[in-house]
């Protein structure tokens, strides 16, 4: 494996180099980022990339801001050194370490699938054949690691990748310990407390943590696959002090009685507190788990069926380069392609048209309500004697009518059945038209009363009598 060395650019001169890469960006003029990040850890972010030949890889990028602390850069380089020489079907391949745009990058093998944690969320309890089959594959991967004097120290479901083709891969060697590296100090805790061994929780030096620590983490993983629970019944977000207290004061819960006694004894042996009582040979663990594990072909078939519900995890097809950026000649296609094929007709934009029928229906309903309200508040109309349409207010018939004077001076009783004509044609005073008619009648009445008054005769003067 060759490591390309390029001069580190000055971050003060070019601030754009510290921006997070996005889909369509080209790294080191060789790889183009496709889609969103695949994952993010404590030291870096993993992206899906494609080269000029169309081959897909995964790139882990160390944040340039973390390079100011030498321990992060040293640990990032140590991760590549620990996994570069590992060639195993159950371990992800680390291909190259290079420097570009002010950041360190690791080129890795891309595994199309999901991690074991996502499958555990969907299926709580696994069958004995599948659980022991996964454990046997991980034991073989640990055997290869330990043979190269590497201790993983962070074996957990998030670091186990399940390919859509049924492959099982162990990844993330960020906190692994290489013999004679001496990077971990006493009292430093690295890893996930839920899966850490008691010697890791005690904060011992990295040299004192051996292959037994990975065997302990594998035992906890097998317990969860078979029962769906933690052997110590820890909370999902348990703190370190809580984990240490429970691990040192309580024994793991017994496994279900339906399991084979030999299998239960093997798992409890892997969960021993004392590393001296724990098996340290991962090869022997894999052979023992093979007694209950299914065949490799059957295991791949079962995993493919379980992962079929997740479908393809590839990101949707996107243009090779972002339209906002200039096209790189490295990724320029030789044959131009048409934006729209001839057989495909362009569809008219229909944005908003699907809401037009609902809008018209709502508008017509509101108009109907408004018309019904006007119809209910309309004035009552009846025909008057003059032929005009006027509003009338009928009074109830009275039993006795008022006397009407006659020419002989004898009052005559009005018929009770005859309705009062004046009251029937009387309009309410509230109407403007009725008020005008009333004012007109009042003025006319005043004029008539003035003319009907008898004119005063001039006072005749008596003739003076002559003496």
**Residues labelled catalytic:** 154
Q: And the tokens for 423?
A: 């009251």
Number of other CB atoms surrounding residue 188 within 10 Å: 12
What count of other Cβ atoms lies within 10 Å of the Cβ of residue 358? 9
Distance CA 99, CA 97 (A): 7
CA–CA dist 49, 184 (Å, integer):
32
414 to 158, 244, 406, 418, 424: CA distances (angstroms): 109, 114, 11, 8, 16
Beta strand 160-163 pairing with 103-108: unpaired
Q: At 194, is the secondary structure helix, strand, or coil?
A: helix
105 CB-near residues (< 8 Å, 6+ apart) = 27, 28, 59, 60, 61, 62, 97, 98, 99
Tokens of 179: 């013999």
Name the residue with tokens 């479908």.
311
Contact 168, 134 (CB under 8 A): yes
Extract the tokens encoding 178: 């290489």
- In 3D space, the residue among 347, 348, 320 whose CA is nearest the CA of residue 334 turns out to be 320
């Amino acid at each position: 494996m060759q490591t390309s060395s390029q001069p580190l650019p000055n971050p003060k001169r070019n601030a754009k180099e510290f921006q997070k890469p996005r889909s369509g960006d080209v790294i080191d003029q060789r790889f183009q980022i496709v889609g969103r990040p695949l994952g993010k850890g404590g030291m870096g972010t993993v992206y899906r990339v494609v080269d000029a030949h169309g081959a897909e890889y995964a790139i882990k990028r160390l944040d340039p801001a973390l390079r100011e602390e030498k321990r992060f850069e040293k640990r990032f380089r140590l991760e590549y050194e620990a996994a570069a020489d590992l060639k195993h079907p159950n371990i992800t391949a680390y291909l190259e370490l290079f420097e570009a745009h002010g950041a360190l990058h690791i080129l890795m093998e891309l595994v199309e699938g999901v991690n074991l944690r996502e499958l555990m969320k969907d299926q709580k309890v696994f069958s004995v054949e599948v659980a022991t089959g996964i454990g046997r594959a991980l034991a073989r991967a640990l055997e290869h690691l330990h043979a190269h004097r590497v201790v993983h120290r962070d074996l957990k479901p998030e670091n186990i990748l399940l390919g859509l083709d049924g492959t099982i891969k162990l990844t993330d060697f960020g906190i692994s310990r290489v013999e004679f590296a001496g990077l971990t100090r006493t009292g430093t805790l690295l890893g996930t407390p839920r899966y850490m061994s008691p010697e890791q929780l005690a904060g011992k030096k990295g040299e004192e943590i051996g292959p037994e620590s990975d065997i302990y983490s594998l035992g906890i993983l097998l317990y969860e696959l078979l029962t769906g629970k933690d052997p110590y019944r820890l909370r999902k977000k348990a703190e370190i002090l809580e984990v240490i207290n429970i691990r040192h004061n309580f024994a793991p819960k017994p496994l279900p009685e339906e399991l084979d006694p030999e299998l239960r004894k093997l798992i409890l042996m892997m969960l021993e507190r004392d590393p001296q009582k724990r098996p340290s040979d991962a090869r022997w663990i894999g052979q023992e788990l093979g007694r209950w594990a299914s065949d490799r072909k059957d295991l791949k078939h079962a995993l493919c069926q379980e992962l079929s519900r997740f479908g393809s995890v590839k990101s949707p097809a996107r243009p090779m380069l972002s339209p906002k950026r200039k096209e790189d000649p490295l990724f320029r296609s030789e044959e131009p392609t048409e934006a729209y094929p001839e057989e495909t007709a362009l569809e008219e934009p229909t944005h908003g048209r699907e809401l037009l029928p609902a809008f018209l229906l709502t508008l017509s309903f509101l108009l109907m309500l408004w018309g019904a309200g006007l119809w209910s508040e309309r004035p009552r109309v009846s025909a008057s004697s003059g032929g005009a349409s006027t509003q009338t207010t009928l009074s109830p018939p009275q039993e006795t009518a008022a006397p009407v004077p006659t020419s002989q001076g004898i009052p005559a009783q009005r018929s009770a059945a005859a309705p009062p004509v004046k009251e029937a044609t009387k309009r309410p005073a509230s109407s403007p038209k009725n008020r005008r008619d009333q004012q007109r009648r009042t003025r006319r009445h005043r004029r008539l009363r003035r003319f009907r008054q008898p004119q005063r005769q001039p006072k005749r003067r008596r003739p003076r009598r002559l003496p």
